[in-house]
Structure 1
Amino acid sequence: MADSFGAPVAVSSDAFYFEKDKSKSILILGVGNYLMGDEGVGVHVIQEMATMKLPDNVDILDGGTGGFLLLNCFESYKAVIFIDATMDGQKEGTISLIRPRFASDFPSALSVHDVGLKDMIEAVYLLDNTPDIHLFTISINEVVPMSLTLSSEVKEAIPKTIEDIIRLTERLSAEF
């Protein structure tokens, strides 16, 4: 969802996470800084998915650069799928899927907010109910401050990333 200027519109409410039983639900969480060009691709994916009809057991959230502020979301979900940018030296627009359990499992150069995200994942594993965590990364070459524009290669990776996410949610839902 976007306003008339194309900027994302977000609605935030802690009550959302407690409105229904999410023990068989999947959270798709896009992270990144929307104002830093390609670094915000995770948020762009969520904005695109907000226009789609998704299964009732799939929730989406624009996590921005929230880090520990997002921690309270995790105890309720069976699975969490992250989408984030990475500067891993691969060809721009390369999509990868990893299953992080600790900060050391993340790509060496996630994005500019990687410390908060990595620390948050380690904190998630200290919770009583730990979700099944998956991370889609999209390779980027640079961070462009104060830019809402994605490079063509990164923008072209969004539909394929969404297809991969949908396929993963279908597989995970079948396993619940």
Structure 2
Amino acid sequence: MSGPDQRIVLAPDDGSLGPLLRVADDRLDPHTGYGRHEHRAVDVVAVVLAGSVRHRWADGADVRAGDVAVLRAGAGLEHDEVAGPDGARVLQCYLRSAAPGAGPSHEVHCAASGWVDLGRPDARLWVARPGPGASVTVPPGLLLVRGVDGVLVEQQAGRDVAGPAAVLVWQLDVGRPAWAT
């Protein structure tokens, strides 16, 4: 593979999930990347499931398995992400920008567990990684479970999820943002 092996997990084209535009399950071979590309008016929340990626923008950042990186493109930026020596597995979650005219920024939440502060009022993210034989009680919302058999996506009211898995729950405001009215 010369670039990412990307599998789209979720891509509502009707706006039914408010700011959540798409979720992709990406695999990168060691030392391969996406290639330099541009983002504008989008927030990209990258949940690193395995391996690591080097984010190449501004001062750069290393993002490892268990970390959640939040890239706010705002008015626009060009960047790349390149896998480390063991490759990478990343859930890339794309959201409509909460501040499309703002300057770009990048923040890494190391070893994220529980609620991750995305700095926006219309989307909340909860993450957990139950190990083999363990389970976790998840909050209500849009559940994404990356387990050994693939990715499960379902709207749910809260329940137990068994590991081993990476578990994400999105709580989303499905109304239109103030700037879009």
TM (normalized to structure 1)? 0.31
More helix by share: 1
TM (normalized to structure 2)? 0.30
